[in-house]
Amino acid sequence: MPIEVTGIQSTLKDMRKFEPDLHREMNKQIKRAMIPVRNKAKSFAPSNQDMLSNWTKVKAFGPQQTQFRPFPMYNQAETIRGIIYSAGGDKPLPSGFQVLHYVANRSAGGAIYETAGRVHPSGRKQTHIVVSRHKLLKDKKYRTQRGTRIDMNSNNPNAGKQFLEPLGGVYGARGNIDPRFGNTDQRGRLVYRAWSEDQGKVTRAIQLAIDIAVKTFNARDIASSYSKAA
Protein backbone atom coordinates (compact mmCIF):
# COMPACT_ATOMS: atom_id res chain seq x y z
CA MET A 1 0.00 0.00 0.00
CA PRO A 2 2.88 2.44 -0.53
CA ILE A 3 2.38 6.00 -1.68
CA GLU A 4 5.60 6.57 -3.55
CA VAL A 5 7.07 10.06 -3.32
CA THR A 6 10.00 10.70 -5.66
CA GLY A 7 12.19 13.62 -6.56
CA ILE A 8 11.73 15.59 -3.33
CA GLN A 9 13.62 13.47 -0.79
CA SER A 10 16.41 16.03 -0.47
CA THR A 11 13.83 18.81 -0.10
CA LEU A 12 12.08 16.96 2.73
CA LYS A 13 15.46 16.35 4.39
CA ASP A 14 16.34 20.05 4.17
CA MET A 15 12.88 21.00 5.38
CA ARG A 16 13.29 18.87 8.50
CA LYS A 17 16.69 20.46 9.13
CA PHE A 18 16.00 24.13 8.35
CA GLU A 19 12.21 24.44 8.77
CA PRO A 20 11.31 21.93 11.52
CA ASP A 21 8.00 23.66 12.29
CA LEU A 22 6.89 23.30 8.68
CA HIS A 23 8.03 19.68 8.65
CA ARG A 24 6.08 18.95 11.85
CA GLU A 25 2.96 20.58 10.42
CA MET A 26 3.21 18.42 7.31
CA ASN A 27 3.53 15.30 9.45
CA LYS A 28 0.55 16.40 11.52
CA GLN A 29 -1.58 16.69 8.38
CA ILE A 30 -0.45 13.26 7.13
CA LYS A 31 -1.24 11.72 10.50
CA ARG A 32 -4.68 13.35 10.46
CA ALA A 33 -5.33 11.66 7.12
CA MET A 34 -4.10 8.22 8.19
CA ILE A 35 -5.58 7.88 11.67
CA PRO A 36 -9.08 7.21 10.24
CA VAL A 37 -7.58 4.27 8.30
CA ARG A 38 -6.17 2.87 11.54
CA ASN A 39 -9.45 3.34 13.38
CA LYS A 40 -11.47 1.80 10.56
CA ALA A 41 -9.14 -1.22 10.46
CA LYS A 42 -9.65 -1.69 14.21
CA SER A 43 -13.42 -1.67 13.71
CA PHE A 44 -13.16 -4.63 11.32
CA ALA A 45 -11.63 -6.96 13.93
CA PRO A 46 -14.26 -9.66 14.57
CA SER A 47 -15.21 -10.88 18.01
CA ASN A 48 -13.73 -14.11 19.37
CA GLN A 49 -17.16 -15.73 19.02
CA ASP A 50 -17.02 -15.23 15.25
CA MET A 51 -13.91 -17.37 14.90
CA LEU A 52 -13.47 -21.12 15.20
CA SER A 53 -13.49 -21.79 18.94
CA ASN A 54 -10.20 -23.69 18.87
CA TRP A 55 -8.44 -20.65 17.39
CA THR A 56 -9.32 -18.46 20.37
CA LYS A 57 -8.35 -20.87 23.15
CA VAL A 58 -4.82 -21.01 24.55
CA LYS A 59 -3.64 -24.62 24.37
CA ALA A 60 -1.26 -26.47 26.66
CA PHE A 61 1.72 -27.97 24.84
CA GLY A 62 3.65 -31.03 25.93
CA PRO A 63 7.46 -31.23 26.22
CA GLN A 64 7.78 -32.79 22.76
CA GLN A 65 6.01 -29.75 21.22
CA THR A 66 7.94 -26.96 22.89
CA GLN A 67 10.60 -27.07 20.16
CA PHE A 68 8.02 -25.61 17.76
CA ARG A 69 6.39 -22.21 17.94
CA PRO A 70 2.70 -22.61 18.87
CA PHE A 71 0.22 -21.48 16.24
CA PRO A 72 -0.77 -17.88 17.19
CA MET A 73 -4.20 -17.62 18.79
CA TYR A 74 -6.72 -14.99 17.71
CA ASN A 75 -7.91 -12.45 20.26
CA GLN A 76 -10.02 -9.46 19.29
CA ALA A 77 -8.66 -7.13 21.99
CA GLU A 78 -5.05 -8.02 21.14
CA THR A 79 -5.73 -7.56 17.44
CA ILE A 80 -7.24 -4.12 18.00
CA ARG A 81 -4.27 -3.06 20.16
CA GLY A 82 -1.88 -4.35 17.50
CA ILE A 83 -3.22 -2.11 14.72
CA ILE A 84 -1.08 1.00 15.01
CA TYR A 85 -0.14 4.18 13.19
CA SER A 86 3.54 5.12 13.07
CA ALA A 87 5.47 8.02 11.61
CA GLY A 88 8.17 5.55 10.59
CA GLY A 89 11.91 5.77 11.04
CA ASP A 90 14.95 7.39 9.49
CA LYS A 91 16.66 4.16 8.41
CA PRO A 92 16.12 3.32 4.72
CA LEU A 93 15.06 -0.18 3.68
CA PRO A 94 17.59 -2.45 1.86
CA SER A 95 15.79 -1.51 -1.36
CA GLY A 96 16.73 2.13 -0.74
CA PHE A 97 13.14 3.19 -0.08
CA GLN A 98 12.19 4.73 3.23
CA VAL A 99 8.92 4.18 5.06
CA LEU A 100 7.82 7.47 6.57
CA HIS A 101 4.19 6.94 7.61
CA TYR A 102 2.25 3.69 7.86
CA VAL A 103 -0.57 1.77 9.50
CA ALA A 104 0.45 -1.75 10.50
CA ASN A 105 -1.05 -4.87 12.02
CA ARG A 106 1.41 -6.14 14.65
CA SER A 107 -0.68 -8.87 16.23
CA ALA A 108 0.33 -12.39 15.11
CA GLY A 109 -3.23 -13.71 15.26
CA GLY A 110 -4.52 -10.51 13.67
CA ALA A 111 -1.96 -10.81 10.85
CA ILE A 112 -3.18 -14.33 10.11
CA TYR A 113 -6.78 -13.12 10.03
CA GLU A 114 -5.66 -10.24 7.79
CA THR A 115 -4.25 -12.30 4.93
CA ALA A 116 -5.21 -15.98 5.37
CA GLY A 117 -6.60 -17.45 2.16
CA ARG A 118 -4.89 -15.11 -0.27
CA VAL A 119 -3.14 -17.99 -2.05
CA HIS A 120 -5.61 -20.80 -1.35
CA PRO A 121 -9.10 -19.32 -0.82
CA SER A 122 -10.52 -22.76 0.01
CA GLY A 123 -7.53 -23.96 2.00
CA ARG A 124 -4.45 -25.86 0.98
CA LYS A 125 -4.98 -29.38 -0.33
CA GLN A 126 -4.15 -32.43 1.79
CA THR A 127 -1.26 -33.15 -0.56
CA HIS A 128 1.03 -30.18 -1.02
CA ILE A 129 4.61 -29.46 -1.99
CA VAL A 130 7.25 -29.39 0.74
CA VAL A 131 10.34 -27.36 -0.15
CA SER A 132 13.22 -29.78 -0.60
CA ARG A 133 15.62 -27.93 1.69
CA HIS A 134 13.34 -28.53 4.69
CA LYS A 135 14.52 -31.27 7.02
CA LEU A 136 12.29 -34.35 6.96
CA LEU A 137 10.59 -35.26 10.22
CA LYS A 138 10.64 -38.94 11.11
CA ASP A 139 6.90 -39.11 11.77
CA LYS A 140 5.94 -37.43 8.50
CA LYS A 141 4.82 -39.25 5.37
CA TYR A 142 6.18 -38.03 2.05
CA ARG A 143 6.32 -39.12 -1.53
CA THR A 144 8.72 -37.80 -4.13
CA GLN A 145 7.70 -36.23 -7.40
CA ARG A 146 10.44 -35.08 -9.76
CA GLY A 147 12.83 -34.52 -6.86
CA THR A 148 10.35 -32.48 -4.79
CA ARG A 149 8.81 -33.99 -1.67
CA ILE A 150 5.03 -33.98 -1.40
CA ASP A 151 3.55 -33.89 2.13
CA MET A 152 0.68 -36.35 2.63
CA ASN A 153 0.47 -36.17 6.43
CA SER A 154 -2.78 -34.19 6.89
CA ASN A 155 -5.45 -36.03 8.88
CA ASN A 156 -8.16 -33.54 7.90
CA PRO A 157 -8.14 -32.56 4.22
CA ASN A 158 -10.87 -29.97 4.91
CA ALA A 159 -9.05 -28.23 7.78
CA GLY A 160 -8.01 -25.25 5.66
CA LYS A 161 -11.48 -24.72 4.27
CA GLN A 162 -13.06 -25.02 7.74
CA PHE A 163 -10.58 -22.48 9.13
CA LEU A 164 -11.14 -19.95 6.34
CA GLU A 165 -14.93 -20.06 6.06
CA PRO A 166 -15.65 -17.92 9.17
CA LEU A 167 -13.04 -15.37 8.05
CA GLY A 168 -14.81 -14.32 4.86
CA GLY A 169 -13.10 -12.99 1.76
CA VAL A 170 -10.21 -10.56 1.43
CA TYR A 171 -10.59 -6.97 0.18
CA GLY A 172 -8.40 -4.91 -2.11
CA ALA A 173 -6.29 -5.42 -5.21
CA ARG A 174 -4.08 -8.42 -5.91
CA GLY A 175 -1.19 -6.24 -7.08
CA ASN A 176 1.89 -7.43 -8.94
CA ILE A 177 5.33 -8.78 -8.22
CA ASP A 178 7.40 -5.60 -7.90
CA PRO A 179 11.22 -6.04 -7.63
CA ARG A 180 11.36 -3.04 -5.30
CA PHE A 181 8.70 -4.19 -2.85
CA GLY A 182 8.40 -7.95 -3.51
CA ASN A 183 4.89 -9.33 -3.63
CA THR A 184 2.55 -6.33 -3.67
CA ASP A 185 -0.66 -8.26 -3.02
CA GLN A 186 -2.81 -5.61 -1.36
CA ARG A 187 -5.70 -7.75 -0.14
CA GLY A 188 -6.75 -8.22 3.45
CA ARG A 189 -9.53 -8.01 6.01
CA LEU A 190 -8.36 -5.26 8.40
CA VAL A 191 -5.71 -2.69 7.37
CA TYR A 192 -5.86 -3.64 3.70
CA ARG A 193 -9.65 -3.43 3.72
CA ALA A 194 -9.63 0.00 5.38
CA TRP A 195 -7.01 1.22 2.93
CA SER A 196 -8.93 -0.16 -0.05
CA GLU A 197 -12.12 1.61 1.01
CA ASP A 198 -10.46 4.97 1.76
CA GLN A 199 -7.37 4.88 -0.45
CA GLY A 200 -8.34 7.64 -2.90
CA LYS A 201 -9.28 10.12 -0.19
CA VAL A 202 -6.25 9.37 1.98
CA THR A 203 -3.84 9.45 -0.95
CA ARG A 204 -5.10 12.86 -2.04
CA ALA A 205 -4.89 14.24 1.51
CA ILE A 206 -1.32 12.99 1.96
CA GLN A 207 -0.19 14.27 -1.41
CA LEU A 208 -1.79 17.65 -0.71
CA ALA A 209 -0.03 17.93 2.67
CA ILE A 210 3.33 17.16 1.04
CA ASP A 211 2.74 19.51 -1.91
CA ILE A 212 1.79 22.44 0.33
CA ALA A 213 4.77 21.89 2.62
CA VAL A 214 7.24 21.59 -0.26
CA LYS A 215 5.90 24.67 -2.07
CA THR A 216 5.97 26.68 1.16
CA PHE A 217 9.52 25.57 1.91
CA ASN A 218 10.73 26.36 -1.60
CA ALA A 219 9.15 29.82 -1.45
CA ARG A 220 10.80 30.52 1.89
CA ASP A 221 14.10 29.18 0.61
CA ILE A 222 13.97 31.46 -2.45
CA ALA A 223 13.04 34.47 -0.29
CA SER A 224 15.91 33.64 2.06
CA SER A 225 18.36 33.42 -0.83
CA TYR A 226 17.31 36.85 -2.17
CA SER A 227 17.62 38.45 1.25
CA LYS A 228 21.12 37.04 1.67
CA ALA A 229 22.13 38.30 -1.78
CA ALA A 230 20.80 41.77 -0.97
pLDDT exceeds 50 at position 227: no
pLDDT tens profile 82-124: 999 998 665 665 655 666 788 999 999 999 999 999 888 888 7
Is 91 within a domain? yes
Is 150 within a domain? no
**What pLDDT does residue 113 have?**
96
Is 141 within a domain? no
State pTM to two decimals.
Answer: 0.76
- Three-state SS at 26: helix
pLDDT exceeds 60 at position 64: no
Tell me what percent of the residues of the chain surpass a pLDDT of 70: 66
Is 153 within a domain? no
> What sections of 56-135 are H helices per DSSP?
76-82, 108-115
Is 100 within a domain? yes
What is the average pLDDT value for the chain, to the nearest integer?
78
Tell me what percent of the residues of the chain surpass a pLDDT of 90: 35
Is 165 within a domain? no
Average pLDDT over residues 168-191: 78
Residue type, 80: I
d(CA 126, CA 154): 6
pLDDT tens profile 164-174: 999 999 998 88
Contact between 196 and 172 (Cβ < 8 Å): yes
pLDDT tens profile 143-152: 655 556 666 6
d(CA 67, CA 177): 34
Residue 19 domain boundaries: 9-118+170-229
The more confidently predicted of residues 3 and 170 is 170
Residue 185 Cα to chain centre, angstroms: 10
User: Quick one: pLDDT band at residue 226, thresholds 50, 70, 90?
Assistant: very low
Is 134 within a domain? no
pLDDT tens profile 38-48: 999 999 999 99
User: How many domains is the chain partitioned into structurally?
Assistant: 1
User: Quick one: pLDDT band at residue 229, thresholds 50, 70, 90?
Assistant: very low
**What pLDDT does residue 88 have?**
66
Strands 182-183 and 171-173 come out as: unpaired
Is 99 within a domain? yes
